[in-house]
Amino acid sequence: MRKLFALALGAAIFATPAFAQYPERAITMVVPFAAGGPTDTVTRLVAESMSKELGQQIVVENVGGAGGTLGAGKVAQAAPDGYTLLMHHIGMSTAPTLYRKLAFNPLEAFEYVGLVTEVPMVIVAKPGFEPADMKSLVEYVKANKDKVNYANAGIGAASHLCGMLFMSAIDTRVTTVPYKGTGPALTDLMGGQVDFMCDQTTNTTNQIKEGKIKAYATTTAKRLDALPDVPTAEESGYNDLTFGIWHGVYAPKGTPKEAIDKLSAALQKALKDPNVIERFASLGTAPVAEDQATPAAHEAKLKAEIARWKPVIEAAGEFAD
Ligand code: ASP
């Protein structure tokens, strides 16, 4: 026991000078969804800018599956050395209620680097889908509930949350088709293999503008500049569908503070990068304010969001093992 304590003390003493040089090699940032989807898009933009700031490459690794819980679980288990990070979204706050046996506790397994952005969602459907607007979409889904299907990225994904809220609001259940991310789901939606889904604007804006998919409603309080013709869900009377998909950067618990501080500073710089701001705007989103890209703001948001979604999920009565 004494030996262990001495070892830990030694590690703590030597950790500080070592981290003065951090980062000395490439960093992995895990995206808990498939490549080509909205979380992947946000991560690659931010990682590219943070890499410049840190002087080392941030390599994006896609670990999709189980609504983001596989990738998050992998990072929770990783060495806390500053070389494995996670970009995750609102799913980090819904998973602890949705999953009866989650392999990690979001409030104990991570250090928080900072918040990144809050991305709106939009309800979209395959090209040529019959309903013309949100009102007729609801009528159609109710009338054809045994026939239509809804794509998502698994239980715990933002697309799952949005679908769950939509189905609760219209009091109708339809078949869901889970993917490892909404990147591949969007490909199938464009191909007509699935009927409709709800996904971040970072994955859908261009395809809506190009007429490759149909858009019914955004989850925003006001119409988006990037999609001015798409009404909000509130305009059709669905007030419970107003929410944003917040994203944050995590590191395994125990990652030294020196590393976290450098990562937070690099994140704050990246969020002021004109290229990031411009690309975000074209996809219907914006970086958070600098004081939100901090460990304290991130931790407070996660706690508040776990508390916010718990009763909503419990009321919907949808859980996973
Ligand atoms: N948008 C997806 C979700 O449902 C995830 C992704 O593929 O980025 O959470």
Strand duo 196-200 + 149-152: pairing? parallel
Report the separation in Å between the CA atom of 183 and the middle of ligand 1, taken as the mean of its atom positions. Answer: 7
Give me ligand 1 centre to Cα 173, in Å: 21
Distance (Å) from CA 123 to ligand 1 centroid: 13
Question: For residue 21, how far is its CA from the centre of ligand 1 (angstroms)?
Answer: 35
Q: How far apart are CA 301 and CA 232, in angstroms?
A: 24
Phi, psi of 58 (to 5 degrees): -100, 115
Pairwise CA distance, residues 269 & 53, whole Å: 7
**Spacing, Cα 161 to ligand 1 middle (Å):** 10
CA 1 to ligand 1 center in whole angstroms: 45
Per-residue model confidence as pLDDT tens for the chain (321 residues): 454 554 454 445 445 567 889 999 999 999 999 999 999 999 999 999 999 999 999 999 999 999 999 999 999 999 999 999 999 999 999 999 999 999 999 999 999 999 999 999 999 999 999 999 999 999 999 999 999 999 999 999 999 999 999 999 999 999 999 999 999 999 999 999 999 999 999 999 999 999 999 999 999 999 999 999 999 999 999 998 999 999 999 999 999 999 999 999 999 999 999 999 999 999 999 999 999 999 999 999 999 999 999 999 999 887 888
According to the model, what pLDDT value does residue 58 have? 98
Question: 242 CA to middle of ligand 1, Å?
Answer: 17
Go through the chain and tell me how many residues it has: 321
- Which atom, in ligand 1's list, is nearest to the CA of 31? 8
Burial of 265 (0-12, 13-18, 19+ CB in 10 A): middle
Domains contained in the chain, CATH given: 27-118+246-316 (3.40.190.150), 120-241 (3.40.190.10)
Q: Dihedral sign, CA of 289, 295, 301, 305?
A: positive
Ligand 1 atom closest to the CA of 89, numbered from 1: 9
CB under 8 Å, gap of 24 or more: what pairs does 237-240 form? 238/134, 238/166, 238/169, 240/165, 240/168, 240/169
Q: How far is the CA of 103 from the centre of ligand 1 (A)?
A: 20
How many whole angstroms separate alpha carbon 216 and alpha carbon 236? 10
Q: What is the distance between the alpha carbons of residues 159 and 37, in angstroms, rounded to a whole number?
A: 11
What span, in angstroms and rounded, lies between the C-alpha atoms of 239 and 221? 9
Q: What SS3 class is residue 218? A: strand
Residue at token pair 């969020």: 271
- Closest ligand 1 atom, CA of 158? 9
Q: What are phi and psi of 113, to 5 degrees?
A: -95, -40
Residue 268 CA neighbour count, 13 Å, CB half: 16
Instruction: Note whether 125 and 131 are within 8 A (CB).
Output: yes
Give the model's pLDDT for residue 319.
84
Task: Name which residue sits closest to atom 4 of ligand 1, judged by CA.
Answer: 159
200 Cα nearest atom in ligand 1 = 1
Q: Which residues contact 269 (CB under 8 A, 6 or more apart)?
A: 49, 50, 53
Closest CA to 36 of 212, 247, 203, 211: 203
Residue with CA closest to ligand 1 atom 6: 181
Going by C-beta distance under 8 Å and a sequence separation of 6 or more, which residues neighbour residue 51?
Answer: 57, 58
Closest CA to ligand 1's atom 8: 39
Q: Closest Cα to atom 7, ligand 1: which residue? A: 181
Alpha-carbon dihedral angle through residues 100, 104, 110, 112, given to the nearest 10 degrees = -20
**Whose CA is closest to atom 2 on ligand 1?**
182
Structure tokens at 279: 């690309």
- pLDDT at position 16, please? 57
Residue 122 Cα to ligand 1 middle (Å): 12
What is the per-residue pLDDT for 318?
79
Place of tokens 């009377």: 237
Token pair, residue 88, equals: 């995750």
Q: Cβ distance 233 to 219 under 8 Å?
A: yes
- Candidates 31, 159, 245: which one to mutate for ligand 1, based on the most atoms within 8 Å of Cβ? 159
Q: How far apart are CA 57 and CA 52, in angstroms?
A: 8
User: Cβ(111)–Cβ(295) under 8 Å?
Assistant: yes
User: Which residues line the pocket of ligand 1, CB cutoff 6 A?
Assistant: 33-34, 37-40, 91, 152-153, 157-159, 181-183, 199-200
